[in-house]
Amino acid sequence: MKEAYGVKNLKFSYNGTNIINDISLNIMEGEFLSLLGPNGAGKTTLIRILTGVIKDIEGEVLLYSKPIHHYRRREFAKTVSFLPQNPEVNLPFQVRDVVMMGRFPYIKRFEMERPRDIEVAEYAMKLLSIDHLAKRHLKELSGGEVKRVFIAQAIAQESKILFLDEPTANLDINYQIEIFKILKDFNRRLNKTIILVTHDINHAARFAKRIVLLKDGMVVKSGEPEDVITEGNLRLVFNTELKVEYDSKNKPYILI
């Protein structure tokens, strides 16, 4: 297994406040990793650093053994894609156009899109069963459909690593499960590395192969769900008493 990310002694502060305090973390290719932690733990900031949105950091972030700031933007986008928490949806772009944007790193400035770009975009739409929506406008879609459009965009980007910030926030429960199933499927069949931020401990425990528990910009615990989701760890991180049970597959879940 190849190492996708190597993070060493990462620090980041904004306006004099330390947001990331010395994080070291290795992420292997093909992992399904979930970042878990309370608000202000630095989850989103960590993702924004790993996706190259935030640049003025201390420490070392290697992507496939090469520092991320040595990547050119397009080259980076071919490796890593990122689905932000609230993507802009108020524009009357058609679904097709939005998915096609995923091909941006592959189309040179003075070129038109090639048949292959269109093929990949159509494949991505089929995969997420949004091909029947191709000509609809983004703002006419439901929350779950919008999320699927942007996941399709990330698929069209053909990156090895997919970051998602709260992919199921504000979605109905059926869509939440559906999105996680899609992600799990990509992870297993296409060997995509998936790294996501979530608030939902049960989702993380059920779908992720590894959970990284964050608090105050530090890694509290990292490992398989059954090792990380314990009453002791959750008390430490969330400052509240939670009851942990185990399902038939021995996966932990919490009772509220």
Comparison of 92 and 115: residue with beta carbon closer to another protein: 92
Please state the closest distance from residue 45 (CB atom) to another protein, in A: 12
Strand partners, 111: none
Stretch that binds another protein, among 96-104, 195-203, 213-221, 230-238 (CB under 8 A): 96-104
CB of 249 to another protein, least distance (A): 34
Q: Does the protein bind another protein through residue 52 (CB under 8 A)?
A: yes
CA 227 to chain centre: 22
Distant-in-sequence, close-in-space partners of 4: CB < 8 Å, separation ≥ 6: 27, 28, 29, 31, 63, 64, 160, 161, 193
Counting contacts by CB under 8 A, is residue 109 touching another protein? yes
Tell me the C-alpha distance between 152 and 129, whole Å: 9
- Is residue 69 within the footprint of another protein (CB under 8 A)? no
Shorter beta-carbon distance to another protein: residue 162 or 211: 162
* Near another protein by CB under 8 A: residue from 101, 169, 177, 244: 101
What does the per-residue mask of binding to another protein show for 30-49, with x meaning CB under 8 A?
------------------x-
The pairing of beta strand 66-67 with beta strand 58-63: antiparallel
The one among 6, 38, 40, 84 contacting another protein by CB under 8 A: 84
> Coil, strand, or helix at residue 74?
helix
- Exactly one of 93, 123, 238, 253 binds another protein (CB under 8 A); that residue is 93
Nearer to another protein by Cβ, of 11 and 209: the residue is 11
Q: Which of 32, 14, 19 is nearest to 204 (CA)?
A: 32
Report the SS3 class of residue 102. Answer: helix
Is residue 76 a contact residue for another protein (CB under 8 A)?
yes
CB of residue 48 vs another protein: minimum separation in angstroms? Answer: 7
Write out the DSSP string of 152-193: HHHHHTT-SEEEEESTTTT--HHHHHHHHHHHHHHHHHS--E
